[in-house]
Structure 1
């Protein structure tokens, strides 16, 4: 791929993927065409529904939709019911026979998807699913699954280390010592974890990780002793393509709400003056800058800043 005209790249990908998933095949390994199978999936999951709503959802011509529905009805797979508030409309759903016919059809589709994933490693599967989610989020942002803030799962802490290292090296030129610091923070989070007092959240849309943040007990850097009543916000990160969704504010607010519930009196954090987007989020949440200092940190001359939120 990669031509001077991006539209040609899109068309090339479309040709590859339609061939890969068998769109051009006249029939599935069953008695149903692909459009019929897709229509039955909608009726199995979103019924009862009107024919016009189906046409709009699937972006199919009303005449073509009518022929598809007529075919299913003639085979005894479609049932109708009156609209509860509009006597002019009829709602559609699968009949008992239609539901029985859909079961092996749905099972076949799942088996084909599993067969496509089977040769891939776990890392390749995650990368593929993440790319699929990203394509959908870019082209149809309103149709994607809601972004959740969830606790870390196996592999998430490694992702935090990797993404911080790669992102801050590319964007701000920080060296490998920064990635090592993030690894130590993650290790300390596991080793010193206090349920109800500390937490980590991953912003995820399906299998795709979009961001993260931690809230831990603040400790004296010299002695390692806990500072009573003080929490520390750490490792706020958003993937570049996830900006503009309000996730940074959600992650920071999640820390504030958790800290209040846990009984902390204040939250502290460390950042750099160059991180203007993060600083704006902190300021909007009510944090105030309490100290700044010019230092050489992780291979760069930066302005180190300390911020604080009184709860």
Structure 2
């Protein structure tokens, strides 16, 4: 597939910017005498769980791990060995295998290098506002996943909406439902009214809302409001496409059910449409049952509305 030359230029511009920011063009990384590659070799040796004492790696495995030319890695290890930071010796199990491990001086050198890098990153992050910092870290995770890395299961936090995020709820509902289902602005208007009623009520004992934050970015939401004295209503469940399949929706619904139970409700209901198949599966797994359904024309589409409920 052909790649837009402008995109190539944008990536190269970012690379030039970021390599300067983190100092990899300097002769030593983070003010130490070690190059970036040497620092990475020391890191892998210091953090490997293999070997009798730890810190022992097969040279061929190290080369594959770092994707380094064999001759280049050999020269790096020779420099580190001459400095007294590593040793190289044949494996006792297989003389054809060469093992490299950190010496005590090597461990001390890595500890100093690691502390210097932590301090450098702290200085980098210090002037970044909390919101910008979360966005930056989330973008780093996105880059890793997009390029085939696996940063691990996304960090999920459920929390109350922060100032400005009720507007995010309205905006994301409007944008996603227009994109995925072709619903018009009347749906966004309905969501805005639900959110406005929630904010006006300001009843923390009987209602609550949660934002699902994944790797520092809002990725979903759900609201629990009062239908009457004994019945709660689940509203505005949403999960961003990038967070789907990771259990975010199920966690939001579970939190809503826990709150409704603690608040003293005996039953909870919800209204949805039959086209929202993923949401319906979440509701079914959470114990909701379909009570009734009825065709209607709303948001510029012919739909089938559904009423679901369960006991608490």
- Is TM-score (shorter-chain normalized) higher than 0.5? yes
> Any idea what SS the aligned residue of 2:159 has?
coil
Whether 1:166 aligns to 2:171 is yes
RMSD: 4.1
- Deviation of residue 193 (structure 1)? 4.0
Matches within 5 A, 1:1-311: 5-6=3-4, 9-10=7-8, 12-22=10-20, 23-28=24-29, 29-47=31-49, 48=54, 49-51=56-58, 52-78=60-86, 87-88=93-94, 92-140=100-148, 143-152=150-159, 155=162, 158-159=164-165, 161-170=166-175, 171=178, 172-173=183-184, 174-176=187-189, 178-182=191-195, 184-185=197-198, 191-193=203-205, 200=210, 202=212, 204=214, 206-213=215-222, 216=224, 218-220=226-228, 225=229, 227=230, 232-252=233-253, 266-293=267-294, 303-310=304-311
The 1:163–1:310 alpha-carbon spacing in structure 2 relative to 1, beyond 3 Å, is: same
Structure 1 unaligned segments of length 5 or more: list them. Answer: none
The 1:15–1:107 alpha-carbon spacing in structure 2 relative to 1, beyond 3 Å, is: farther
- Deviation of residue 165 (structure 1)? 1.3
The 1:134–1:193 alpha-carbon spacing in structure 2 relative to 1, beyond 3 Å, is: farther
Number of aligned residue pairs: give it. Answer: 291
Normalization by structure 2: what TM-score?
Answer: 0.71
2:262, 2:103 → 1: CA distance?
A: 51
- Deviation of residue 180 (structure 1)? 4.8
Could you tell me whether the CA contact under 8 Å between 1:176 and 1:298 is conserved in 2?
Answer: no
Could you tell me whether the CA contact under 8 Å between 2:212 and 2:218 is conserved in 1?
Answer: yes
- Deviation of residue 76 (structure 1)? 1.9
The 1:261–1:192 alpha-carbon spacing in structure 2 relative to 1, beyond 3 Å, is: closer
1:266, 1:104 → 2: CA distance?
A: 59
Could you tell me whether the CA contact under 8 Å between 2:225 and 2:233 is conserved in 1?
Answer: yes
- Deviation of residue 8 (structure 1)? 5.2
2:61, 2:310 → 1: CA distance?
A: 49
Could you tell me whether the CA contact under 8 Å between 2:135 and 2:216 is conserved in 1?
Answer: no
- Deviation of residue 237 (structure 1)? 1.7
CA offset digits 1:84-126 (Å, max 9, x no partner): xx83367655333223222332233234334444454433323
- Deviation of residue 168 (structure 1)? 1.8
> Any idea what SS the aligned residue of 1:31 has?
coil
- Deviation of residue 295 (structure 1)? 6.4
The 1:201–1:165 alpha-carbon spacing in structure 2 relative to 1, beyond 3 Å, is: closer
Larger Rg: 2
- Deviation of residue 27 (structure 1)? 3.2
> Any idea what SS the aligned residue of 1:271 has?
strand
1:217, 1:177 → 2: CA distance?
A: 15
Could you tell me whether the CA contact under 8 Å between 1:290 and 1:308 is conserved in 2?
Answer: yes
